[in-house]
C-alpha cells in the first residue's frame, strides 16, 4: 500500500508499533538497518536520521562520514515474525547528505533515475526475479555446516524434498508483507530451492528482492537452518542464479523487445562485474544451465538470454547470467539503460542461437563471444566502458572495479 508520511505516523500510533527499522543497502546490495522509536519518526521523514557512513562498505572514509536515512513511506511493511503486541515495521530509505542532496553511491537512487529516464522516453519496464538458494544444516552452536538439508532433485516432492514446509512459510510471510510469490519448488542441487515473483515496477521489484533475501534467511534460521545465496556453494553441484525476467512497453504499437535484447547483448560484457560481483560467480558461469556465451534464443536454457514461450502480458525475456550476490538496484538500472540504448540506436537483433551450447564442439563455440571468464576480466571491462561511466556514479564504479 502506498502510504504517505502522515499515514505512516498514524499507522504507527494506531497499530502499537514500537520499533521502526530504517532499511538501506551497502553498495553490494547487502541490507542494513537502523531502528528508531516512534517518537523519532517525524524527524526521520523531515530531515533524516544520521548514521556513520564510514562503517558501511563502499560509502567512503572517516572524512565527511555523516549521512542521513530518509524513509520512503510507500515501502512500509510490518515484519510478520516479530510480536503483534509492540510490533516492528520496516521502510526502505533514500540516503542523503547533510545538505539534503542525494548520496551518489546510493544504488536505490540510481534505479530511481533510470526508471525516471525510461518514463521520460515513454517506456515502462517491469521486472520479475527468480532467485535460487541452498538450505544447509547448522551445528549445535547454530553455525552453518556444509551438509545440505536434503538430497532431493528438480521439482521433487516430500518426503525427499525437505524444504517444502520452509518454502511455504517463506511464501506466506512474503504475502503478509505485500509481496506476491508466483511459484516455488525444489531445484536441481541437494538442498537447493527457488521462489519466483510476479512482475512489478523496477523499484518495487528491487526492494522485494532485497526483502526476499532477508525473509529467507530469517525463516531458515527459525527452522534451525542456514540459507546460502552464494553462486557456487557446493563444488560439482549446480550454482545458484538470479534469473531476471524483463518486459517493456512503449508509447506505440511497435514491439521494442528486439532492440532491448540487442542493447542487453551489446553491453552485457561490460555489465557482468555488477551481475556477478564475486570470485565464486565465475565458477558457476558456463555450466549447469548457467550461460557462458553472449547469445539468445527462444526457450533454449543454454543461452544467456532466453525468450520463454508466452503471450500477451506474460511475454518477457529472461537474463540467466546474474547470481544472487548482485545488487538488484544496480542490475535493474543497468538493464534499463542498456535497453533504452538499444531502442535509441535501433540496434539490430543478432540471429538466435538454436543449439545446446553445453554440448557443442569447440569449433562451433569459437563463433560466439564469451562472457568474462574471471572477476578480474569483468572488472577491467567495466572500468574501461564508456557506457558504464556514463550511467554509474564514480563511487559505485570504484567500489566494483577497485579504481
pLDDT at site 62: 46
Residue numbers of the domain that contains 11: 5-103
Residues 229 and 248 in one domain: yes
Q: Give the DSSP per-residue string, 240-306.
A: --EEEEEEEE-SSSS--HHHHHHHHHHHHHHHHHHHS-STTHHHHTTSTT---BS-EEES-TTSSEE
C-alpha Rg value of the chain to the nearest Å: 21
The last residue of one of the domains, among 65, 84, 103, is: 103
Helix/strand/coil for 53: helix
Residues 99 and 136 in one domain: no
Residue 369 has pLDDT above 50, yes or no: yes
Q: Which of 399, 362, 370, 367 is nearest to 383 (CA)?
A: 399
Q: How far apart are CA 220 and CA 199, in angstroms?
A: 25
Residue 301 has pLDDT above 80, yes or no: no
127 found inside a domain: yes
Residues 172 and 57 in one domain: no
Q: Give the DSSP per-residue string, 338-377.
A: HHHHHHHTTPPPPPP--S-TTTS-HHHHTTSPBPPSSHHH
Q: What is the CATH number of the domain that holds 378?
A: 3.30.590.10
Q: Is the pTM for the entire model greater than 0.85?
A: yes
DSSP β-bridge partners for residue 193: 133, 186
The runs of H, that is alpha helices, within 3-72 are 5-14, 41-47
User: How many domains are contained in the chain?
Assistant: 2
Residue with cell 531502528: 35
pLDDT tens, position by position, 228-287: 999 999 999 999 999 999 999 999 888 899 999 999 999 999 999 999 999 999 999 988
Q: What is the CATH number of the domain that holds 55?
A: 3.10.20.70
DSSP β-bridge partners for residue 23: 33, 92
258 found inside a domain: yes
108 found inside a domain: no
Residue 1 has pLDDT above 70, yes or no: no
Residues 273 and 370 in one domain: yes
pLDDT tens, position by position, 48-90: 999 988 888 888 764 357 899 999 999 999 999 988 788 999 9
Burial code (b: 16+ CB inside 10 Å, e: under 16) for 206-219 equals: bbbbbbbbbbbbbb
Amino acid at each position: 500500500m502506498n502510504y504517505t508520511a502522515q499515514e505512516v505516523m498514524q499507522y504507527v500510533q494506531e497499530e502499537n508499533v514500537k520499533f521502526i527499522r530504517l532499511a538501506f543497502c551497502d553498495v553490494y546490495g547487502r541490507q542494513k538497518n537502523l531502528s528508531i522509536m516512534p517518537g523519532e519518526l517525524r524527524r526521520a521523514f523531515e530531515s533524516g536520521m544520521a548514521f556513520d557512513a564510514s562503517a558501511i562498505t563502499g560509502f567512503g572514509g572517516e572524512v565527511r562520514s555523516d549521512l542521513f536515512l530518509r524513509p520512503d513511506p510507500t515501502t512500509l511493511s510490518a515484519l510478520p515474525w516479530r510480536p503483534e503486541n509492540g510490533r516492528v515495521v520496516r521502510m526502505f530509505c533514500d540516503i542523503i547528505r547533510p545538505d539534503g542532496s542525494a548520496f551518489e553511491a546510493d544504488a536505490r537512487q540510481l534505479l530511481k533515475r533510470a526508471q525516471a529516464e525510461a518514463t521520460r522516453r515513454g517506456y515502462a519496464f517491469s521486472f520479475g526475479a527468480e532467485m535460487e538458494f541452498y538450505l544447509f544444516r547448522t551445528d549445535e552452536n547454530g553455525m552453518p555446516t556444509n551438509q545440505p538439508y536434503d538430497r532431493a532433485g528438480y521439482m521433487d516432492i516430500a518426503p525427499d524434498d525437505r524444504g517444502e514446509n520452509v518454502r511455504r512459510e517463506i511464501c506466506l510471510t512474503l504475502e503478509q508483507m505485500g509481496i506476491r510469490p508466483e511459484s516455488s519448488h525444489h531445484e536441481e542441487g541437494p538442498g537447493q530451492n527457488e521462489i519466483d515473483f510476479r512482475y512489478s515496477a523496477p523499484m518495487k521489484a528491487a526492494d522485494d528482492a532485497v526483502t526476499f533475501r532477508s525473509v529467507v534467511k530469517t525463516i531458515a534460521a527459525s527452522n534451525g537452518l542456514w540459507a546460502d545465496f552464494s553462486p557456487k556453494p557446493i563444488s560439482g553441484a549446480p550454482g545458484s542464479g538470479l534469473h531476471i525476467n524483463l518486459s517493456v512497453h512503449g508509447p506505440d504499437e511497435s514491439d521494442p523487445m528486439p532492440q532491448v535484447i540487442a542493447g542487453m547483448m551489446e553491453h552485457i560484457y561490460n555489465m557482468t562485474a555488477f551481475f556477478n560481483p564475486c570470485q565464486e560467480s565465475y565458477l558457476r558461469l558456463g555450466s549447469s544451465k548457467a550461460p557462458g556465451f553472449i547469445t539468445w534464443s527462444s526457450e533454449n536454457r543454454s543461452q544467456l538470454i532466453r525468450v520463454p514461450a508466452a503471450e500477451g502480458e506474460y511475454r518477457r525475456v529472461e537474463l540467466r547470467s546474474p547470481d544472487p550476490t548482485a545488487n538488484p538496484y544496480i542490475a535493474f538500472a543497468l538493464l534499463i539503460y542498456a535497453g533504452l540504448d538499444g531502442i535509441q540506436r535501433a540496434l539490430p537483433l543478432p540471429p538466435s542461437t538454436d543449439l545446446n551450447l553445453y554440448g557443442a564442439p569447440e569449433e562451433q563455440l569459437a563463433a560466439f563471444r564469451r562472457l568474462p571468464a574471471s572477476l578480474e576480466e569483468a572488472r577491467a571491462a567495466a572500468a574501461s566502458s564508456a557506457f558504464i561511466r556514463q550511467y554509474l556514479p564514480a563511487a559505485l564504479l570504484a567500489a566494483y572495479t577497485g579504481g
